[in-house]
Structures are given as structure tokens and as C-alpha cells.
Amino acid sequence: MTGESRSVNSESFQPSPFIVYPSLFTFGQSKSSNQKMRDDTYWDSPIETLTRDGIEKLQTGLLKSILERAARSRFYSEKFRKIGFDPGSVSSVEDAGRIPFTEKKDLRESYPYGFLCEPKERLLRMHISSGTTGQAVAVFYTKADLEVWADLLARCMYMAGARPGDTFQNLSGYGLFTGGLGFQYGAERLGMLTIPSGAGNSKRQIQIMRDFSTSVIHVIPSFLLLLMDVIKEMKVDPQKELSLRIAFVGAEPYSEEVRRRIEDFYGVKVYNSYGLSEMNGPGVAFECACQSGLHVWEDAYLVEIIEPDTLEPVPDGQYGELVMTTLKREAMPILRYRTRDLTRILPGECGCGRAHKRIDRIQGRTDDMFIIKGVNVFPMQVEQVLMNIPEVGNNYVIVLNRENNVDDMMVRVEVTDRVFVEDMRKLESIRKRIAHDLKGELLVTPKVELVEPNSLPRSEGKATRLIDRRVV
């Protein structure tokens, strides 16, 4: 590792003659915010109003330069040589299928500097992807990368209706997690008063929201659910005493049912926000005011959906694994990255007029799917069922066990305060209903255990919804 760091730092790695990245400047992404072509609807109207044709032409140019740039990294130069791939042979986005895939394990094995295309002197920031197991993945940014990223986030938030004059509270972990600083700079770029309240500190979060009339927030769904109980405890009326207008909610999967619960409780409009550290962080795909899918910013990312087993592209409308290419990143281009996130491209045009492709809500990750008694299950299916039952509270966990070679699935569910004081008969009937509804959705019968409100473990970051004790 130290050897790698040395070689990138000074010896074999020469400063890039590519310091001005032509495509960035051609398309205006590094202009300061007041130079933007902004109007009431669009943050960046020339880019947001591109036609399909325009997007594809733009992408072709960007793809060619990013391939050239990627070939400077140790990882891609070796990879291209090994498989006999000539990056100069790509003449349009149609050829993207010939570019090799990149996987998480490649990033892990090349840790920390194997993907770098710039000398360390040109780097300004590093984040680490939030995976909890295995070797971490480090992502680096140059000044231009940070500019592009802040601008993408400003564009996302503006699209949903956030405006200068709004007060933005970011209830997201700062530090290595991209949701903190990523949104901070995006919100400042947009021109909102930005409060970096960070993760945790539930009561303080509510006080800040109330005292400073926070109108826009960014938060992970599990924390927003948890805050509901805190708000009730504090006897605050969220609809009367808070001024929330827009909530950007993402960083972990959640169902439409959870969106509805949050909207009903807080009286806020929830916009799905998607991103991943390998592609900068948040700002990759967001919902517009139509809320029919999340627009991927195709001036910054090339998006594909593949069948995870055959690796072949799937037609629009069909679910598969999301694959993404950074089209503009200087420090660390990543090509055809297999995100493991399952979604589909929504066919047809969006009512907002933007032609940038839309992906559907993330259904889960291929690595989260588990097989129980021969049936494939995603934690999201369990959530959809639970959150449709009014007596179910805001937290649950799925525990998988194996005893005498037989697998067993247990769903622990917090009930609401109101239900918890009910008699045993009522509780038993709720338990049975949950088991029945889960069986209807999953085709296996799980054990269901009802637990008291606020009794399941909470994490400050992304929620752990699945504990698989079968793996030894």
C-alpha cells in the first residue's frame, strides 16, 4: 500500500498535461453559480433541456475523453492491456458495451490509489464508501470534481423546487459519508441558508427545525422514521410547528409506503435522491416535480441496465442491475461500474420536459437478496407489507437463522404506542395478520415477533434491516 502511494505521489506518476479538462469547460459545469443560465424552472437550462440527440452527441465526446483519461490509471492501463482493449476504438456511446465492467472488488483490490488519474498534489478531498464489510473503497476529488458535484446537487435540489431563501438542514452524517459534505456544498451553491446539523441528536434536530423554520431537509429514511417517535414524545405538531416543504430522502432503499408515512406525518413532499460514493455520492439521480422516476444526469453519467447473470443489456422497462460510467471525473474515472442496485429505465417522456433518462425507485441490491426455503426475497418486500399495516411502528428487522439444517426467518416488528397497551388477544391478531400478509407477498411463512416501540437497535447511519445468522 505504501508502495502504491509513493508511486502515484511522485515517482512514476507524472503531473497530467490534461489539467484543463476540455469537456468540463465546453459544457459550462465549472462556471460559478451566478454565470449559470438559470430561470424559474431550470438550474442549468442548456443541459437540462437537451434533446435525446443532444445528450447522445454530448456523451460521445465525453466518453471518448474519459476513456483516454482512465487509461492513465494503473488499474485501467493494466486492464486494457490485459484484455486487448483499445480505448481509442470507441467512437460513440453505442460502443460502450465493449468497455470492460468495473466491480467493487476491483476498487477494493486497487485501494488506495490504483484508479487515480491525477497526482496527489491535485486532489482536494477523499470520501469512503459506506460498505461495512471488507476492504474500504476510497474516492478522490480534484477541485473541478468538487465543482461539478456541487453543481449537480444544486441542479437536483433546484429541480424539486428548493430556492435561495429556503433554509436547508442536512441531517446526514458528515465525515467520510458523502451525504454530509456533498449536500452541504450543493445547498450552498444553490444559495440556501445551510445548517450542517449532522446525524443523531434527535431532539436538537427538531428544535433547530422549529427555531429556524427549516423548509428543506436531507435525511436517510430510517432516521426520518425514527424522528417521528421523538416528535411525538416532544409533543411537537410537525404540521403546525415545523415549516418543512421538501425532504430529500435517500442513501438507503425505502418503499413507497414509507414515503407515504413520512409525507402524511410531516406534511412534507418527499423527493427520492439517489447516489453512490463511486459516482461522487448523492446527485446522480433525483426526482423532478413529476415524481415519476429519478432523472439520471446524463451529461455526467452514462447509464445502462444489464441482466446480472448474462451481463447483457436489458430493454427499457425491464428490471436489472444499474451500471454507470462517470463522464466527467478528473481524479478517478470509473467505467461501467456494476452498482449491484436493481432498477429499470422508465420508458417514455417525463412530464417535466427533461429528456435525461429516468430510473425507477431502487428495488434493493443484488447483495441484499436472500434465499429462504428456495424463495428469493428482498428486504424491501417485507417493508412494503409492514408499512401498509397501521398498527406497525417505524422500525423492524429481519433475522435469518439455521437450525438442524433448516432455515428460519424471523421478522421483529415494533408496534405503535397505541397498540402496545392493548390486550394479548388484540396483539395476537395483529401478529397473525402480519404473518398472513407477509406470506401473501413472499410465499414463505415467517415467524413474527411484536416488540415494544423504540426497542429495536437504532443506528446513526444507514439502517440494518437484515441479520443473516446462517452464514458461518
Residue 297: CB minimum distance to Zn ion, A: 12
Binding to ligand AMP in span 233-262, by CB under 6 A:
250-253
Q: Which of 75, 274, 301, 396 binds ligand AMP (CB under 6 A)?
A: 274
Q: Which is nearer to Zn ion, 163 or 210 (CB)?
A: 163
Number of residues near Zn ion (by CB under 5 A): 5
Residue 343: CB minimum distance to Zn ion, A: 16
Q: Which of 190, 288, 331, 386 binds Zn ion (CB under 5 A)?
A: 288
Helix, strand or coil, per DSSP, at residue 302: strand
Question: Quick one: the chain helix, strand, coil %, rounded to 5?
Answer: 35, 25, 40
Q: Which does 273 bind (CB under 5 to 8 A by kind): ligand AMP, Zn ion, none?
A: ligand AMP
Q: Interface with ligand AMP includes 422 (CB under 6 A)?
A: no
Q: Provide the H-helix boundaries in 161-243.
A: 178-190, 202-211, 221-233, 238-241
For residues 216 and 248, the answer to whether their CB atoms sit within 8 Å is yes
Q: Which is nearer to ligand AMP, 75 or 177 (CB)?
A: 177
Binding to Zn ion in span 338-357, by CB under 5 A:
350, 352, 354
In sequence order, the β-bridge partners of residue 140 are 126
Nearest residue to 279 (alpha-carbon basis) of 347, 341, 333, 359 = 333
Q: Which does 288 bind (CB under 5 to 8 A by kind): Zn ion, ligand AMP, none?
A: Zn ion
C-alpha separations of 26 from 42, 299, 326, 356 in Å: 19, 12, 17, 19
C-alpha separations of 184 from 218, 288, 464 in Å: 10, 20, 25
Q: Which of 73, 102, 110, 129 binds ligand AMP (CB under 6 A)?
A: 129
Nearest residue to 221 (alpha-carbon basis) of 263, 185, 192, 184 = 263
Q: Which does 393 bind (CB under 5 to 8 A by kind): Zn ion, ligand AMP, none?
A: none
C-alpha separations of 33 from 29, 44, 120, 152 in Å: 9, 9, 27, 11
Q: Interface with ligand AMP includes 362 (CB under 6 A)?
A: yes
Contacts of 13 by beta carbon, 8 Å cutoff, 6+ apart: 7, 116, 119
Residue 274: CB minimum distance to ligand AMP, A: 4
Q: Interface with ligand AMP includes 277 (CB under 6 A)?
A: yes
Q: Which does 178 bind (CB under 5 to 8 A by kind): Zn ion, ligand AMP, none?
A: ligand AMP
Q: Which is nearer to ligand AMP, 30 or 178 (CB)?
A: 178
Binding site for ligand AMP (CB under 6 A): 129-131, 178, 250-253, 272-277, 339, 341, 362, 365
